[in-house]
Amino acid sequence: MNLWKEFTKGFIKENPVFIMALGLCPTLAVTSSVKNAIGMGLAATFVLTCSNMIISLIKNLIPDKIRIPCFIIVIASFVTIVDLVMNAYTPEIHKNLGLFIPLIVVNCIILGRAEAFASKNKLLPSLLDGLGMGLGFTLALVLIGSIREILGAGLWLGKEVMPDAYIENPMLVAILAPGAFIIMGLLMGLIKLVNKGK
């Protein structure tokens, strides 16, 4: 039961994006379409899960003073793996995400979980924590991506979901940079409102 809690806390209660406000850069940068959001979310989930596992395994070997550089090397190795694999198998998504794949290294969610959770817990909880947080991150990305793609292009995952007249003349600003900031702000406000009402 406890393990289940470790897994699900990242979805809503401790959602890394909306509640903890971590990993904001990729959240806004890659969510102009749902497809990119899913790609980014899964890439980060993979890195997060693997790095959490490795760090929880080697936590006793790392001297306390240099733990942050050690964590960063572990994370950077997995990011390199993801970078190469995505380049080989999903070149289109790799091209769209571009700069933001190497930048997973400095995504504060991953270093944050390594420092706050994996370096203090055993293998299995760390694995579930990483997986849960990663999926929570993906969930947040897909939510923002859906709103932006539907408002900004009238599409969802490339399929037409709005009337033709809307698609011809969509609210373009939602896909552009300003829309990302404003939608993010409104969503955060909404979530704060809902949480307070509980």
Partner 1 sequence: MSFITQIFTLAVFAIFVNNFVLSKFLGLCPYIGVSKKIDSAVGMGMAVIFVMTMASTFTWLIQEYLLIPYELEYLQTIAFILTIASLVQLVEMVIQKTAPSLYKALGVFLPLITTNCAVLGVSILNIQEDFNFLGAILNGLFSGLGFTLVLVLMAGLRERLEKSEVPEAMKGMPIAFVIAGCMALAFLGFSGLNF
Residue with tokens 């997060």: 48
Q: Which of positions 151-190 make contact with partner 1 (CB under 8 A)?
A: 173, 176-182, 184-186, 188-190
Position among 15, 107, 119, 121 found at the interface with partner 1 (CB under 8 A): 107
Burial of 189 (0-12, 13-18, 19+ CB in 10 A): exposed
- In this complex, which beta carbon is closest to partner 1, that of residue 123 or of residue 195? 195
Instruction: Report d(CA 127, CA 194) in Å as an integer.
Output: 30
Q: For the chain, give me the number of helices (H) and strands (E)? A: 9, 2
- In this complex, which beta carbon is closest to partner 1, that of residue 61 or of residue 193? 193
Q: Which of positions 133-152 make contact with partner 1 (CB under 8 A)?
A: none
Q: What angle do CA 153, 174, 15 make, to 5 degrees?
A: 110
Amino acid at 46: F
Q: Smallest distance, Å, CB 155 to partner 1?
A: 21
- In this complex, which beta carbon is closest to partner 1, that of residue 3 or of residue 21? 21
Instruction: Report d(CA 120, CA 1) in Å as an integer.
Output: 19
Q: Which of positions 76-95 make contact with partner 1 (CB under 8 A)?
A: 76-77, 79-80, 83-84
Q: Which of positions 14-33 make contact with partner 1 (CB under 8 A)?
A: 21-22, 24-26, 28-29
Please give the helix or strand (H or E) that residue 160 lies within, else none: strand 159-160
| Binding stretches for partner 1 (CB under 8 A) | 21-22, 24-26, 28-29, 68-69, 72-73, 76-77, 79-80, 83-84, 99, 102-103, 105-108, 111, 173, 176-182, 184-186, 188-190, 192-193, 196
